[in-house]
């Protein structure tokens, strides 16, 4: 097969994956300052989409629009259309709490609550009423910790404080906490930037496994990480979406010169 | 030469020394200030300090010590018959000498001669000059007074000479030591460090002094009244001192402590929910505009003097509650008798609670806003509402700090005086009806120390025992609160 044919086949394969979230002409303003310029970006189901770009390029801002975490920032305004399974998430009729239960989030710095490991994981299921009995709740907690690859490390100390874990374990606890709510999409904002290489490898492995059940959008500063974990990559620069492409193509033969330059380390 | 004038001269020398120091620093640097170790200002400051500080210390020491030397030498001039008298009488005699010494410079030559011939007229002559002499003067007193004046004058002149000489010498030698490699900045900063240390040690020493003075007086009290009768006595009935009573009355702490804690409890019942809710609103819901407006307004409450709250309780809240209770009683039973007294536990408690609201809200607000944003985002990101986030994440995380803040507030409630003096009444009773008057430790301290007092009777000294008890309680509360707050801070670091 020629290179062009391979590409075409890949493109076709990707194009058959249904779209989970769609962003159309998304712009974000912080007060008078514009942070995003008409971004059109789709998130495909059961795919890991990586958002890359230099600091301050708007990738985290875009990520936070997907579950309306920007609402908590004073003076932040979003225009354009973002849909989840075809429904506008900025529709006034939408309950933002319900949206965030469907689109979970993992933050840059591990932020376990100062409660026990068990309480951390059961927090979401409790407020959303996902478990009716203690046994069901126990099961949700165990399942979530297993999915986050943390169960074997913490099963004997579920009632110790979550803040006593190591950094990598804390971040996986936060992932377990997000998974416990059974979201459809998980947003990750540089989840490994505060972790050492070994903990990073574990989290990346986890992202691979989670892809089977969840749609994942991850912001990362590490090009290698984007290449390792994602199937689609979007490159942001100065608030604009420069290029969105299959990860393989993006890192071997990007369409845009700026992407090439950034990946080669010429700026950023 | 007066001390003020002397200090003024020293300051002037220091100012000149500063300018000279700068000039010399610039001169030795040859116009290149980078050649100097420190900025020229530091050299100036160093020279000024060398010219000012040593003489200042000498002046302070001289002023502290010289009166003792002068006094004892003047006493040596007293006739032997006076020296044979008791120390108290000698002191009395010296007091008169000192008064005469003060009056002597106001006399004219003739008046002085007249008095020297007939000392019995001294009292009358001095009175016309505005100097009151306690008793008839004796001839030796005039001589002693003259000696006293002479010695004081000599002492002052000597002090001025020594201080100015020292100042000039300091300026001269420090000016000579100005050189490019001389580390003036380090020396000046060292002096500043000592000044800071001195300031902080003054605060600590004052605390120790207060405790020591209270403790000695309290010890006096405990020699007259056994400690167990004070700490465990259930009756507060101090008779008037010297009213011919054979017993000195009973000094039971328990009723006062009960009143203090009861009123404090009612106050906290008012202040904690209101203050905490206000803090939650301010920290979590208020828009920045609202917050910038409401927070200072709320804190105005903290700036009102407590005596004003006392008025408020006395003329507004107390009568209002009394009338309200009469109306309620009338509606319920037809008998328009009030069941809330104007002065009562509830009046004092409510008004004190209002006073405490800003403390609770301000302290809690700081603690709630100190909870990291990451925790808030984490909870919101899981689909929790704001209210769930506050209830389940923020308040639990802030709880130790809030408990610390509440303990600090409680210690304020226990130590509060003016509101309870006006609003709680003075009846030292043990009862549980919040509508009746009770009294507190602070009220009784005020009562026992008001009026003509002799500081040897247990009726007066008991105030110090009460004071030190109160001090220990609030100190313990504060230390415990600080301990909790500090422990809580470490969680996020």
Token digits for B16? Answer: 């000149």
pLDDT for A40 equals 92
Q: Is the pLDDT of residue A122 over 90?
A: yes
Domain layout of chain B by residue ranges: 3-181, 183-222, 231-490
Q: Give the mean pLDDT of chain A.
A: 88
- Please report, rounded to a whole number, the percentage of residues in chain B having pLDDT higher than 70: 97
Tally C-beta pairs within 8 A across A and B: 73
Q: Is the pLDDT of residue B93 over 50?
A: yes
Asked whether residue A12 is domain-assigned, the answer is no
| Disruptive mutation site among B283, B376, B378, B402 for chain A (greatest number of A CBs within 10 Å) | B378
- Please report, rounded to a whole number, the percentage of residues in chain A having pLDDT higher than 90: 49
Mean pLDDT lowest among B406-420, B421-435, B467-481: B421-435
pLDDT for B246 equals 54
Ramachandran assignment for B130, one of left (phi > 0), alpha (psi -120 to 50 degrees), beta (any other): left
Asked whether residue A40 is domain-assigned, the answer is yes
Q: In whole angstroms, what is the distance from residue B234 CA to residue B224 CA?
A: 18
The string of pLDDT tens digits covering residues B29-77 is 877 778 888 888 899 999 999 999 999 999 999 999 988 888 888 888 8
Q: Is the pLDDT of residue A217 over 70?
A: yes
Would you call B383 and A109 a contact, using CB atoms and an 8 Å cutoff? no
Residues of chain A contacting residue B491, judged by C-beta atoms under 8 Å apart: 114, 163
Q: Is the pLDDT of residue B220 over 80?
A: yes
Mean pLDDT across the stretch B182-191? 91
Q: Is the pLDDT of residue B432 over 90?
A: no
pLDDT for A3 equals 61
pTM of the full structure:
0.74
DSSP B49-100: HHHHHHHHHHHHHHHHHHHHHHHHHHHHTS-HHHHTS-HHHHHHHHHHHHHH
Distance from CA of A163 to the nearest CA of B (A): 9
Q: Is the pLDDT of residue B492 over 70?
A: no
| B374 → closest Cβ in A99, A107, A123 | A107
Q: In whole angstroms, what is the distance from residue B206 CA to residue B214 CA?
A: 12
Q: Is the pLDDT of residue A127 over 60?
A: yes
B→A interface, C-beta within 8 Å: 287-288, 372, 374-385, 388, 392-393, 396-397, 491
Distance from CA of A55 to the nearest CA of B (A): 20
Residues of chain A contacting residue B374, judged by C-beta atoms under 8 Å apart: 107, 109, 111
Name the nearest CA neighbour of B409 among B468, B470, B347, B355: B355
A→B interface, C-beta within 8 Å: 67, 69, 72, 74, 97-102, 104-107, 109, 111-115, 123-124, 127-128, 163, 174, 177-178, 181
pLDDT for B242 equals 55
Residue with tokens 């959303």: A128
* CB contact at 8 A, A87 and B367: no
Residues of chain A contacting residue B384, judged by C-beta atoms under 8 Å apart: 97, 123-124, 127
Distance from CA of A54 to the nearest CA of B (A): 23
pLDDT for A10 equals 57
| B381 → closest Cβ in A69, A115, A128 | A69
Q: In whole angstroms, what is the distance from residue A221 CA to residue B208 CA?
A: 58
Query: Residue A220: which domain range?
Result: 17-263
Place domain B231-490 in its CATH homologous superfamily.
Answer: MetI-like (1.10.3720.10)
Q: In whole angstroms, what is the distance from residue B306 CA to residue B267 CA?
A: 14
The string of pLDDT tens digits covering residues B158-172 is 999 999 999 999 999
Residues of chain B contacting residue A128, judged by C-beta atoms under 8 Å apart: 383
Token digits for B442? Answer: 């602070």
Q: In whole angstroms, what is the distance from residue B313 CA to residue B251 CA?
A: 28
Confidence of residue B192 (pLDDT cuts 50, 70, 90): very high
Total structural domains within chain A:
1
Using DSSP's 3-state secondary structure scheme, residue A255 falls into coil
> If you measure CA to CA, which chain B residue comes closest to A68?
B381
Asked whether residue A50 is domain-assigned, the answer is yes
Residues of chain A contacting residue B283, judged by C-beta atoms under 8 Å apart: none
Mean pLDDT across the stretch B87-95? 82
pLDDT for B348 equals 92
Would you call B381 and A98 a contact, using CB atoms and an 8 Å cutoff? no
Mean pLDDT across the stretch B184-203? 93
Q: Give the mean pLDDT of chain B.
A: 87
Asked whether residue A29 is domain-assigned, the answer is yes
CATH number of the domain at A107, please.
Answer: 3.40.50.300
Residues of chain B contacting residue A163, judged by C-beta atoms under 8 Å apart: 491
Residues of chain A contacting residue B397, judged by C-beta atoms under 8 Å apart: 113-114
pLDDT for A142 equals 94
Q: In whole angstroms, what is the distance from residue B168 CA to residue B176 CA?
A: 12
The string of pLDDT tens digits covering residues A168-215 is 899 999 999 999 999 999 999 999 888 888 888 888 998 988 899 899
pLDDT for B493 equals 43
The string of pLDDT tens digits covering residues B234-256 is 888 887 655 555 566 788 889 99
Asked whether residue A8 is domain-assigned, the answer is no
Residues of chain B contacting residue A123, judged by C-beta atoms under 8 Å apart: 379, 382, 384, 392-393
Q: Is the pLDDT of residue A263 over 50?
A: yes
pLDDT for A38 equals 92
Asked whether residue A224 is domain-assigned, the answer is yes
């Amino acid at each position: 097969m020629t290179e062009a044919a391979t590409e075409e086949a890949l493109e076709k394969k990707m194009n058959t994956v249904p779209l989970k979230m769609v962003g159309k002409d998304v712009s974000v303003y912080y007060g008078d300052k514009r942070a995003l310029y008409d971004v059109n970006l789709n998130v495909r189901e059961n795919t890991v989409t990586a958002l890359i770009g230099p600091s301050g390029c708007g990738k985290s801002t875009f990520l936070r629009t997907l579950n309306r975490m920007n609402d908590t920032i004073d003076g932040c305004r979003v225009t354009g259309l973002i849909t989840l399974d075809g429904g506008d998430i900025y529709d006034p009729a939408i309950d933002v709490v319900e949206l965030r239960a469907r689109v979970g989030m993992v933050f840059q710095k591990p932020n376990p609550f100062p409660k026990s490991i068990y309480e951390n994981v059961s927090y979401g299921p409790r407020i959303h009423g996902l478990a009716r009995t203690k046994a069901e709740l126990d099961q949700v907690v165990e399942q979530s910790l297993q999915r986050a690859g943390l169960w074997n490390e913490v099963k004997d100390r579920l009632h110790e404080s979550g803040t006593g874990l190591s950094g990598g374990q804390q971040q996986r606890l936060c992932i377990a906490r997000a998974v416990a709510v059974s979201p459809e999409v998980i947003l990750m904002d540089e989840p490994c930037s505060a972790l050492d290489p070994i903990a990073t490898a574990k989290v990346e492995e986890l992202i691979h496994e989670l892809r089977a059940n969840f749609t994942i959008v991850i912001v990362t500063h590490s090009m290698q990480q984007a290449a390792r974990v994602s199937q689609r990559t979007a490159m942001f620069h100065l608030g604009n979406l420069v290029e969105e492409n299959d990860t393989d193509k993006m890192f071997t033969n990007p369409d845009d010169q700026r992407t090439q330059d950034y990946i080669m380390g010429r700026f950023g | 030469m007066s001390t003020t004038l002397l200090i003024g001269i020293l300051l002037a020398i220091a100012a000149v020394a500063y300018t000279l120091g700068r000039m010399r620093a610039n001169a030795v640097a040859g116009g290149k200030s980078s050649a100097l170790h420190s900025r020229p200002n530091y050299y100036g400051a160093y020279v000024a300090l060398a010219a000012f500080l040593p003489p200042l210390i000498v002046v302070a020491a001289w002023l502290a010590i010289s009166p003792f030397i002068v006094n004892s030498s003047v006493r040596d001039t007293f006739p032997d018959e006076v020296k044979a008298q008791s120390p108290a009488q000698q002191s009395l005699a010296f007091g008169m000498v000192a008064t005469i010494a003060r009056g002597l410079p106001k006399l004219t030559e003739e008046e002085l001669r007249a008095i020297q011939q007939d000392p019995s007229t001294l009292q009358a002559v001095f009175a016309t000059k505005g100097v009151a002499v306690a008793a008839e003067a004796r001839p030796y007193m005039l001589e002693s007074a003259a000696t006293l004046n002479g010695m004081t004058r000599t002492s002052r002149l000597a002090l001025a000479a020594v201080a100015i000489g020292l100042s000039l010498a300091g300026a001269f030698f420090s000016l000579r030591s100005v050189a490019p490699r001389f580390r003036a900045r380090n020396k000046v900063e060292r002096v500043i460090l000592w000044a800071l240390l001195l300031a902080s040690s003054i605060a600590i020493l004052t605390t120790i002094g207060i405790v020591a003075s209270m403790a000695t007086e309290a010890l006096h009290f405990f020699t007259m009244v056994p400690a167990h009768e004070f700490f465990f006595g259930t009756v507060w009935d101090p008779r008037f001192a010297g009213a011919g009573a054979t017993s000195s009355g009973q000094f039971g702490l328990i009723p006062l402590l009960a009143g203090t804690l009861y009123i404090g409890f009612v106050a906290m019942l008012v202040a904690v929910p209101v203050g905490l809710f206000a803090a939650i609103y301010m920290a979590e819901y208020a828009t920045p505009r609202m917050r910038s407006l409401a927070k200072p307004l709320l804190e105005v409450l903290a700036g009102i003097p407590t005596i004003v709250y006392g008025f408020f309780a006395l003329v507004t809240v107390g009568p209002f509650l009394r009338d309200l209770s009469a109306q309620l009683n009338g509606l319920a039973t037809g008998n328009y008798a009030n069941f809330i007294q104007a002065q009562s536990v509830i009046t004092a408690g409510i008004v004190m609670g209002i006073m405490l609201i800003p403390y609770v809200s301000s302290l809690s607000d700081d603690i709630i806003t100190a909870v990291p944003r990451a925790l808030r985002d984490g909870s919101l990101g899981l689909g929790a509402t704001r209210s769930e986030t506050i209830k389940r994440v923020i308040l639990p995380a802030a709880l130790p700090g809030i408990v610390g803040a509440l303990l600090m507030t409680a210690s304020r409630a226990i130590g509060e005086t003016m509101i309870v003096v006006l609003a709680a009444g003075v009846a030292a009773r043990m009862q549980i009806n919040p509508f009746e008057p009770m009294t507190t430790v602070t009220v009784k301290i005020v009562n026992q120390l008001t009026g003509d007092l002799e500081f040897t009777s247990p009726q007066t000294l008991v105030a110090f025992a009460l004071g030190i008890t109160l001090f220990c309680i609030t100190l313990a509360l504060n230390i415990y609160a600080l301990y909790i707050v500090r422990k809580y801070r470490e969680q996020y670091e």
